[in-house]
């Protein structure tokens, strides 16, 4: 629920302000108010919209973020390396449920990725039925051979190890080794495997947009909260 009714310590802990066990101390250190009146009782049940901390309203109960993922950052909660969640403010890293990426980008792939703590939304956005448009800028190891756009648009391309053909994809040629590709699926390493199937190799991959959300104006590691 966007405006759930529960204990003050439950609100604070779920949004990463403090743990349940730290709540009493938190209320002494910070001005936590309910309807503009300071409270010290962590068991008091209130609505999310009634609470403020040091004059600021609580973080939203649900959050959706678009980030420009930099290279060599991992979309995982537990793998080795620099994790994408470490780029978020510490309080957001402590939210419960956890913030997770909507889908994944490879460590060496940069660009648009959405993150949310809304599990139902995440499931909906990653479902194959969603057919969300993703746009990539692709740098290739070799010049195009000439028929790639036709092959990708045919709806007949079957990736190695699969049986079901890809949905039609669009390709715009910028230079012989730099193209823009638009897909509406999210199969494993899809863009890299598409070019592998036509005898080429992707040496750099940047996702410009995920659905309606672009990383235009965002530097690597930068993000903004969006409505979805």
- The bridge status of strand 32-34 relative to strand 51-53 is antiparallel
Residue 80 pLDDT level (bands cut at 50, 70, 90): confident
Give pLDDT, residue 1.
47
pLDDT digits (tens, 9 = 90+) for 11-60: 999 999 999 999 999 999 999 999 999 999 999 999 999 999 999 999 99
Read off the pLDDT of residues 147-180 as tens digits, 9 standing for 90 and up: 999 999 999 999 999 999 999 999 999 999 999 9
- Pairing, β 32-34 against β 134-140: unpaired
Same domain, 85 and 38: no
The reply to whether 182 and 220 lie within a common domain is: no
- The pair of three-digit structure tokens given for residue 56, joined into one six-digit string: 């600021």
Residues 84-92, mean pLDDT to the nearest whole number: 97
- The tokens describing 176, both together, are 């012989």
CATH number assigned to the domain comprising residue 75: 3.30.70.580
CATH of residue 138's domain is 3.30.70.1560
Output the pLDDT for position 2: 57
- Predicted pLDDT of residue 98: 96
Q: For residue 149, what are its two tokens?
A: 């756009």
Query: Both 143 and 92 in a single domain?
Result: no
Residues 120 and 94 in one domain: yes
**How much is the pLDDT for 203?**
98
On whether both 104 and 139 belong to a single domain, the answer is no
Tell me: the pLDDT tens digits for 9-22?
999 999 999 999 99
Residue linked to tokens 């949310």: 116
Question: What is each CA distance from 202 to 36, 110, 129, 141, 205, in whole angstroms?
Answer: 56, 13, 27, 6, 7
What is the separation of C-alpha 143 from the centre of its chain, rounded to a whole number of angstroms? 32
Taking the mean position of all CA atoms in its chain, how far away is CA 125? 10
Average pLDDT, the chain: 96
Residue 219 belongs to domain spanning: 64-127+215-225
pLDDT of residue 51: 97
- Cβ–Cβ < 8 Å for 72, 81: yes
Q: In percent, how much of the chain has pLDDT > 90?
A: 94
- pLDDT value at position 228? 84
Active site residues: 106
Q: What is the pLDDT of residue 128?
A: 85
- Tell me, yes or no, whether 204 and 220 share the same domain: no
Structural domain total, the chain: 3
Same domain, 138 and 118: no
Model pLDDT, residue 4: 87
Instruction: Give the model's pLDDT for residue 75.
Output: 96
Give yes or no: residues 91 and 47 share one domain: no
Distance CA 39, CA 28 (A): 9
Distance CA 182, CA 58 (A): 38
């Amino acid at each position: 629920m966007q405006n759930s009714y529960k204990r003050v310590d439950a609100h604070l802990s779920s949004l990463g302000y403090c743990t349940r066990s730290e709540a009493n101390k938190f209320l002494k250190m910070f001005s936590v108010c309910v309807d503009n009146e300071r409270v010290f009782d962590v068991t008091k049940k209130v609505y999310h919209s009634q609470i403020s901390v040091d004059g600021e309203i609580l973080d939203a109960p649900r959050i959706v973020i678009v980030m420009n993922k930099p290279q060599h950052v991992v979309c995982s909660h537990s793998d080795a390396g620099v994790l994408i969640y470490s780029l978020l403010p510490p309080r957001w890293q402590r939210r419960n449920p956890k913030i997770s990426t909507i889908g994944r980008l490879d460590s060496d792939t940069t660009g648009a990725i959405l993150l949310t703590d809304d599990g139902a939304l995440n499931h909906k956005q990653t479902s194959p039925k969603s057919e969300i448009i993703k746009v990539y800028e692709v740098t290739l190891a070799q010049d195009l051979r000439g028929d790639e756009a036709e092959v990708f648009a045919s709806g007949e391309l079957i990736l190695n190890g699969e049986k079901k053909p890809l949905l039609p994809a669009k390709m715009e040629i910028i230079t012989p080794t730099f193209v823009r590709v638009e897909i509406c699926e999210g199969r494993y390493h899809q863009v890299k495997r598409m070019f592998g199937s036509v005898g080429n190799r992707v040496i750099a991959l940047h996702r410009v947009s995920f659905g309606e959300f672009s990383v235009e104006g965002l530097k690597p590691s930068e993000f903004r909260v969006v409505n979805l």
